[in-house]
Amino acid sequence: MDRGRLESFSDGVFAVAITLLALNLTVAGPGHGRLLNLLGHSWPAFAAYVVSFFTIGVIWVNHRSLFSGLARVDRVLLFLNLLLLLFMVAIPFTTATLSDYLRRGGENAHIAAALYGLVMTGMGISFALIFNWAIRRGLMIETMTKKARRDAQLRFGLGMVVYIIATGVSFLSAPAALVCYGAVAAYYVLEHTPAGPTAPSD
């Protein structure tokens, strides 16, 4: 099976999910006081929007990098990819919940931040499953050296570990957890190691 429609369907889901994030950007209409104040009070929505936007963006960049190394896909990979999308598509929901509860603090903010982290962790696990399945089944164009494989696993693993830690941090401070989530996205944006064996010239 070639990967054409797998990529175009996934690109569509990524595109819709990243755009739906912006549906959470709203302010009350006229009659609710000064717009400048309303916008100021919405800072959690803007912060969560930027973090989630670049998080989905990074997943897309890594997805593109990983899948460009696939010679073929099998039925299991299609469903592992759906599992990844299941979590990814839930990000606008967890983002909205987090930004609704972030400013108030207290137990609800902790729960909202932990929910966000759980979905991110599920997404990270799905990504790792896809990667390991592709390696084990020999779906990649080139066989990776043991070292290259371990490096890639380390890179994916690092994000997952931070997501799990940040989920724990949520119960201490929701804003601190959001900073952690943003740091993972920033890390993947800034680091330049190619994700797959087929992109040595990035």
**Distance in Å, CB of 91 to its own copies, minimum:** 8
Joined tokens for residue 11? 């690109």
Rounded least distance, CB 100 to its own copies, Å:
5
Show the tokens assigned to 12.
Answer: 């569509």
Q: Which is nearer to its own copies, 56 or 166 (CB)?
A: 56
Q: How far is the CB of 156 from its own copies (least distance, A)?
A: 16
Q: How far is the CB of 22 from its own copies (least distance, A)?
A: 5
> Cβ atoms within 10 A of the Cβ of 86, count?
14
Give me the numbers of helices (H) and strands (E) for the chain, helices first please: 8, 0
Two tokens, residue 143: 């066989």
Binding site for its own copies (CB under 8 A): 1, 5-9, 11-23, 25-27, 29-30, 34-36, 39, 49-50, 53-54, 57, 60-61, 64, 68, 74-75, 78-79, 82, 85-86, 89-90, 92-93, 96-97, 100-101, 104, 107-108, 111-112, 115, 189, 192, 194, 199, 202
Q: Would you say 26 or 145 has its CB closer to its own copies?
A: 26
- Exposed, middle or buried: residue 52 (CB in 10 Å: 0-12, 13-18, 19+)? buried
d(CA 91, CA 112): 12
